[in-house]
Amino acid sequence: MHPFSFTKAANTREALNAGRAGGRYIAGGTTLVDLMRETVERPETLVDISDLPLREVSVTERGGLRIGALVSMAESAAHPKVRSLFPVVSEALELSASAQLRNMATIGGNIMQRTRCTYFRDVTADCNKRDPGSGCAALHGYNRTHAILGASDQCVATHPSDVAVAFAALEATVHLLGPDGERQAPFADFLLRPGATPDHEQALRKGELITAVEVPALPRPLRSGYLKVRDRQSYEFALTSAAVALHIRGRVIREAKVAAGGVATVPWKLPAVERALIGERPSERLWAEAARHAVDGARPLQHNRFKVELLKRTVERQLRVVGGTK
Ligand SMILES: Cc1cc2nc3c(=O)[nH]c(=O)nc-3n(C[C@H](O)[C@H](O)[C@H](O)COP(=O)(O)OP(=O)(O)OC[C@H]3O[C@@H](n4cnc5c(N)ncnc54)[C@H](O)[C@@H]3O)c2cc1C
């Protein structure tokens, strides 16, 4: 581990000043410290933000949900409003990591976490994300867990977060506070596809803090849920996952929010699947037909062709579960 200095921000102003001076925020520390130990990350100054007042979960005036950036994954998952309004968020969190990690880890840190690509985490391997211009060892290496969607010839690493898939499906907004004041970023614009600059992962400006994630109100009744497919049943990242929310009234699907995880460089919204569902009546045939669109544009690599079929089946199954025809 490289030497670094450590400071604890007593309030938001102190945090922003330290961030503007180049300090790196640390919340639960469950992933940043690992990366520092492996020397993948070498921040000179850590700014502990854990005392900032960003620990509230609240229902917005319109009936959406606002989750403070420092609310732990465990608290968010267990919160009665999160459970009742958006079970897909609770389920995505509960299927993440381990109980111990979920107690420490925060919502802000979760969406900021970096890829689990083994070449990224191995400082002896070529990785454009870690060391721009060095190449991508995964492209022709062992790429079983890598992306089939949203990749570039520079990077094929997946985004590992589960709850980010639920936020992408629900079209959440990220609330940010920086030296120039507050702003909001649609979730779809916050996490960046690699393109030619895989080292630019989030639309975060220098010194900016995530203060909250807001899930917008959706028409009720709303059924939602998260399915995660992985090599073992616990403590493992997704091979594929599906976040689904459906508003069904008069036996017709009026709203559909769907996204996939484990398969793309960012949480992957599935607008073609949503379009195929809206205005239709739930049926076995509909789930299968809509799920076919989940892999539109997929470009599998040598070792992850199985993800194409697996993703279709994951989405189909979760549509069936949430749509109530199982
Ligand atoms: C063994 C293991 C298994 C895991 N399995 C899963 C899994 O299955 N699914 C899943 O989704 N996750 C999984 N995780 C990841 C885990 O969820 C993250 O480590 C955790 O959410 C990070 O939160 P943190 O508060 O500890 O972040 P930290 O480690 O403190 O920070 C992470 C990053 O976020 C930045 N950051 C933190 N808060 C803010 C803020 N408010 N504003 C701006 N930047 C901020 C930091 O600067 C840093 O870059 C796993 C982790 C481990 C170690």
For the segment 169-207, what is each residue's pLDDT rounded down to a tens digit? 999 999 999 988 999 999 999 999 999 999 999 999 999
pLDDT value of position 1: 83
Contact 73, 97 (CB under 8 A): yes
Note the pLDDT of residue 321. Answer: 98
Q: Ligand 1 atom 36: the closest Cα is on which residue?
A: 109
Quote the CA–CA distance of 129 and 120 in Å, as a whole number: 7
How far is the centre of ligand 1, averaged over its atoms, from the C-alpha of 125 (Å)? 23
> E strands of the chain, at which residues?
5-8, 24-26, 45-48, 57-59, 65-68, 173-178, 181-186, 209-215, 223-229, 240-249, 252-261, 268-269
CA distance 260 to 250: 27
Candidate from 4, 102, 110, 111 with most ligand 1 atoms within 8 A of CB, to mutate: 110
* Confidence (pLDDT) at 326: 53
Q: Which of 20, 30, 121, 240 to mutate to test the pocket of ligand 1 (most atoms within 8 A of CB)?
A: 30
Residue 63: CB partners within 8 Å, gap ≥ 6? 85, 217, 220
Per-residue pLDDT, 84: 97
d(CA 141, CA 139): 6
d(CA 88, CA 164): 11
| Integer Cα distance of 130 and 150 in angstroms | 18
pLDDT number for residue 325: 63
Look at residue 248 in the predicted model and tell me its pLDDT.
98
> Closest Cα to atom 3, ligand 1: which residue?
97
Strand partners, 233: none
Rounded to whole angstroms, how far apart are CA atoms 149 and 154? 13
Residues with CB under 6 A from ligand 1: 24-32, 34, 49, 69, 73, 96-97, 101, 104-106, 108-110, 112-113, 160-162, 209-210, 237
* Structure confidence by residue, pLDDT tens digits, 228-250: 999 998 899 999 999 999 999 99
- What mean pLDDT, rounded, does the chain reach? 97
Q: What is the pLDDT of residues 132-159, one digit of tens each?
A: 999 999 999 999 999 999 999 999 999 9
Average pLDDT over residues 303-308: 98
